[in-house]
Amino acid sequence: MDTAERLIESAQELLWERGYVGTSPKAIQDRAGAGQGSMYHHFRGKPDLALTAMRRSAAQLRAEADAQMDAADGTSFDRAKAYLLRERDAVRGCRVGRMTMDPEVVADDDLREPVRETFAWLRERLAGILAEGVAAGELRPGLDPVDTAATLAAVVQGGYVLARAAGSQEPFDQAVRGAVGLLSGWAAHPGD
């Protein structure tokens, strides 16, 4: 692995663990086993490296979620359920959602963009799956795919917050099980 790649991966991990404010260039360099000159050879500074790392984390998260939703056989409900119930380390939190808690990220349009983009993508992807379900008669017609997708995304992100606050996976698991239960109430049954 080359130096630039080690710096990006180290920044990804440290941003997830400590956030943007808590991640120093020195910590990234130490974890990557790279010197200051190497970092500044590949990146213009901490914001440039952090943005690259955040874009990479966002792309990885989207790919993982996409694969989970596409791999699920069955109805649109099954695909949404697969996303909700996929295995996560909730106490560690969401590597993309974590960035919303950082005042410097939220205040900087460039740093905030991968976060905004990822959550917009997620809501749109879930809304598409739910709309397919309504159109196919798998979900009852009164379901609003856009509002429901936003709710499901909020449950997952809120579940991370609850798990981190409790220091336990259970509040997250409870939140997503509850969302699955609510969504199952919209599943069409023969005779509906």
144-164: b (≥16 Cβ within 10 Å) or e: ebeebbbbbbebbbebbbbbb
pLDDT of 109 higher than 70 = yes
- The answer for residues whose C-beta is within 8 angstroms of residue 55's C-beta and 6 or more apart is 114
Kindly state the helix (H) or strand (E) to which residue 115 belongs, with its residue range: helix 109-135
What structural domains and CATH numbers belong to the chain?
Answer: 58-184 (1.10.357.10)
Q: What is the pLDDT of residue 27?
A: 97
| Mean pLDDT on 13-33 | 96
Look up residue 139 and give its DSSP letter. Answer: B
Tokens representing residue 86 in the block: 């996929």
Q: Which of 96, 102, 109, 88 is nearest to 170 (CA)?
A: 88
Rounded to whole angstroms, the Cα distance separating 114 from 125 reads: 16
- The pLDDT of residue 191 is above 70: no
Supply the DSSP symbol for 45.
S
Question: CB–CB of 47/108 below 8 Å?
Answer: yes
Flag whether pLDDT at 47 surpasses 70.
yes
Tens digit of each residue's pLDDT (9 = 90 or more) over 124-150: 999 999 999 999 999 999 999 999 999
Residue type, 189: H
Instruction: Give the tokens for residue 71.
Output: 């791999």
Q: What is the dihedral of CA 183, 74, 146, 88, to 10 degrees?
A: 70
Instruction: Please report which confidence band the pLDDT of residue 70 belongs to, taking 50, 70 and 90 as the band edges.
Output: confident
